[in-house]
A = this chain, B = another copy of it.
């Protein structure tokens, strides 16, 4: 691991020169700009934990390629234990940052591409896995952060890639050369993009023969020529831009993952960084495996966030003198119950993980989809309960400027106090943290990250094996299991 801790990670970013825009202006240093530096700090935590003895077992792994000690975020899962450690690492990071630490996207991309490259080679006689291993050893040894880039803009969603009026709505090859390809298009909602070192480009959906140019997997340095990033707006982001100590709610870390658009305006990719190039047969598997790994994560990191939120609300009820109420305890119980239900699915899909032909382990895909589906429900409910217990002042609290005002500061201090002995400022900080964690961007990300709710439902239906279940029922009833002619026609 060349980059050994958070400070070195931050230093490494300063050597890169990606083209990033935010609110119409270019960002010159992501590690210092108020919009991006909180996200840099969250990602840095993934490096920091690896340098601390107590977390090393979770935060590092041994490379199956080199035998080196590497960051777990660059590891290819070799067994169920790896999958479970990942889950525990993600919950821990969620607890430590209270937000997205971004690095699991590239992690999941690495694992999905690895197993698919193996199978593509088997099917097409290509050598993608060897290329990929070389690149991966580089990532592991340097300890780089990779953004997994899957989601295309999609334009008119009633049409597939090949039928879009604008062919660039999905990333595709626009020129093929002997030494590589030129790609065009964009990837949206790219978590951690602006503070990553490398981009791992993957298709966003299964491709058919009409869409061969869209079946492209490759690695691109974050500051390769032709790449432009636009950093997205977040709820109440101006507070952060103004470095408001209290009102951001999160004085150190960011809200969600610092998502950005990555536009590829005719970017050249040399052959040794190409890991799929037109072989459409495995695109579906690639998307599905990436999605499964990523969906599994949400029951871990979001549980970590909920731990923080439950803690914040519990303490706030103490500050307000309501913590003994039976309905307060019942709601804390419910928040805990929902959080642990989510965590269960993350653990379960890992415990039920199985090896792919490449040897890389894959989570149980049914349970991973179930996990993410519950996130899209329970995170909102946990937020709702938190806001219920916190009280209406989450919506009406004066600003920290008022608290600090000579004219009205005394009124804010007096009338937003709680039980004796706790400074009003503390109550305000709690309110702002809860505000930041329960509304807007934070919840939308939970809903749509790793795939929208309907994407999971389609997979749950497909994997439900209704044929087997119908046989179980028929067996209990003594009904013939064979389909009748009338049904076969259907």
Contact = CB atoms under 8 A, between A and B. Distances in A.
Q: Which of A98, A239, A391 has the most CB of B within 10 A?
A: A391
Interface residues of A, number: 162
A333 B188 contact: no
B235 A439 contact: yes
Contact of A411 (B186, B189, B231): B186
Q: Which of A21, A471, A490 has the most CB of B within 10 A?
A: A21
A102 interface: no
Interface in A442-490: 443-445, 447-449, 452-454, 457, 460-461, 464, 466, 468-479, 484-487, 490
Interface string A377-406: 100110110011001111111110110110
Given A392-B449, A398-B261, A159 B407 contact: no
A359 interface: no
Interface string A320-349: 111111110110110011001101111111
A157 B441 CA distance: 32
Contact of A440 (B346, B440, B445, B472): B440
A391 B152 CA distance: 13
A40 to B, nearest CB: 17
A278 B26 CA distance: 63
A417 B159 CA distance: 13
Contact of A238 (B238, B251, B464): B238
A418 interface: yes
Nearest to A383: B380
Given A310-B466, A341-B374, A347-B348, A452 B391 contact: yes
What is the oligomeric copy number?
4
A136 B151 CA distance: 58
Q: Which of A398, A452, A468, A478 has the most CB of B within 10 A?
A: A398
A343 B228 CA distance: 45
Interface in A293-341: 307-312, 314-315, 318, 320-327, 329-330, 332-333, 336-337, 340-341
Q: Which of A311, A326, A371 has the most CB of B within 10 A?
A: A311
Contact of A371 (B189, B252, B344, B454): B344
A129 interface: no
Contacts of A188: 392-393, 396, 415
A155 B469 contact: no
A236 interface: yes
Interface string A418-448: 1111100010011001010011110111011
A256 interface: yes
A387 B447 contact: yes
A229 to B, nearest CB: 9
B228 A411 contact: yes
Contacts of A440: 235-236, 395, 435, 438-440
7 contacts: A24-B408, A97-B476, A156-B419, A307-B472, A340-B367, A341-B341, A426-B479
- Closest A-B pairs by Cβ, 7 of them: A392-B448, A311-B469, A24-B401, A439-B440, A421-B486, A238-B238, A326-B326
